[in-house]
A and B are shown apart, each in its own frame.
Chain A
Amino acid sequence: MMSPDTWTARLSEYVDDQLDAAERGALEAHLAGCADCVETVADLRGVKVRASALTDRPPAGDLWGGIAARIGVSPAPIARQRPGPRRWTFTLPQLAAAGVALVVGGAGLFWAGRASLTDRVGVVAVEPGPGVVDAPRVRPAHARETYDRAIADLERVLAENRAGLDTATIRILEESLRTIDRAIARAREALAGDPSDSYLNTHLAETMRRKLDLLRRAAALATASS
């Protein structure tokens, strides 16, 4: 037979449902005749509820400047960045073949020959931007895996909530995805012979991001409607 003090010490385990059946039964028998312990159980549950409802709060000041300085990144906030050319380091070494340029426009995709690509390379500068530095350990394969996983996640969400989209939206979505997938495949093919081509890498990365954005918007639409 446990003393009341022993039960008091185990009330949190009771609240957390961590007592075995025999202990729980004995404790509940004790609770039937102990108003203090009943009150304590209610308070402990209240503390748990209060703890689970706590919200996160950002730091009073912006800590990015200090972090940026330590990792060698310009501390200029994203919002104040001047849009401009920068070196894109999202290289995918396994991609192959130079010769075709990929241009992703607002409404469609345009392919250009190698000659026009050469002209355009001058426009897409290769100077490093203020926020582009060498990562400590660049793992292109992991970057690719992460991207593929994100795409798979979005496609799964979309498939699960497809009923939330109307027919016209689905048609437009599928056409856009087919176009973008073709563009990505062609870009990879084009890069096979020149994986370091900054122009192709830039547009491949932009196209991949476009696919992410399209899927993200579609998934948001589908989940909001279903």
Chain B
Amino acid sequence: MDELSAGARILNRTHVPDDAADVALAQSGDGHAFERLYRGHVARVHTLARRMTGPDHADELTQDVFVRAWEKLGTFRGEAAFGTWLHRLAVNLILSRRTRIGKDRQRFEGGDQALDLRSTAPPTTELAIDFETAIARLPNGARTVFVLHDVEGFRHDEIAHDLGIAVGTSKAQLHRARMLLRGHLEPKRRERGR
């Protein structure tokens, strides 16, 4: 997953200079420098964890990601921005825990009943505000692919590789997720999309 969205690349470039000094210091054992890295990236990591696994596990996963980052910091060679490296590490760790967490969350095993795909009710502001909640209620596979593809900007072949599924399955899960979420668009954006 080397390619990121244009926005993510710009953000990563922007952060390179600031991160570089702290990465260098943290690699030398400076805990305060690592804390600064944590504070600069915790929102992105926590949001990724929350969207992919739900709120119950996000704190624990975020802590695990940063502990793993500290342990692996010596292997960071600066070939990508620190944020890119950390994000890749976070995705790997979250995916590795996904199966166990999925078993803990029985509602994700249920699949389609989480959201009604056939819903044709007019979207309301309340629904629009809860777009994040709607993502959280997606079936496990659809949510994972949707977050990785539409939110994080990964390609289907990358997602398929990481999840051990066929590219066609990734496409099908994405379409399923979008169809489930279409009723949760706010009216204004729904109009704009036409």
Contacts and interface: CB of A to CB of B under 8 A. Distances in A.
B46 interface: yes
Contact of B132 (A49, A54, A145, A150): A54
Majority secondary structure, A binding face: helix
B42 A59 contact: yes
A47 interface: yes
A138 B62 contact: no
A98 to B, nearest CB: 20
A61 B58 CA distance: 11
Given A9-B175, A59-B62, A78-B36, A132 B17 contact: no
Interface stretch (B63-71, B88-96, B101-109): B63-71
A51 B150 contact: yes
Given A43-B185, A81-B32, A150-B16, A54 B175 contact: no
B17 A154 contact: yes
Contacts of A71: 31, 34, 67, 70-71
B184 to A, nearest CB: 8
A129 B146 CA distance: 45
Interface string B7-39: 000000100111111011111111110111011
Interface residues of A, number: 70
Interface stretch (A116-124, A173-181, A209-217): A209-217
Given A11-B175, A81-B32, A136-B71, A66 B44 contact: no
Contact of B17 (A9, A64, A153): A153
B35 A64 contact: yes
A43 B67 CA distance: 40
B158 interface: no
A135 B32 contact: no
A28 interface: no
B174 interface: yes
Nearest to B33: A131
A133 B31 contact: yes
A143 interface: yes
B178 A47 contact: yes
Give the most central of A40, A70, A91: most B CB within 10 Å: A70
Contacts of A81: 32
Interface residues of B, number: 64
A104 interface: no
Contacts of B63: 63, 66-67, 70
Contacts of A54: 131-132, 151
A70 B21 CA distance: 23
A45 B194 CA distance: 8
A137 B73 contact: yes
B131 A131 contact: no
Contacts of B44: 56
A132 B33 CA distance: 9
Contacts of B185: 43, 46-47, 50
A202 to B, nearest CB: 12
A196 interface: no
Interface in A140-194: 140, 142-147, 149-150, 153-154
A223 B175 CA distance: 41
Interface of B: 5, 13, 16-21, 23-32, 34-36, 38-39, 42-44, 46-47, 50, 58-59, 62-63, 66-67, 70-71, 73-78, 131-132, 146, 150-151, 156, 171-172, 174-175, 178-179, 181-182, 185-186, 189-190, 192-194
19 contacts: A9-B175, A12-B175, A43-B185, A49-B193, A50-B181, A56-B43, A71-B34, A72-B31, A74-B31, A78-B35, A90-B25, A90-B28, A129-B32, A135-B29, A137-B73, A138-B27, A138-B74, A146-B76, A146-B78
The 3 lowest CB-CB distance pairs between A and B, nearest first, are: A137-B74, A46-B193, A150-B20
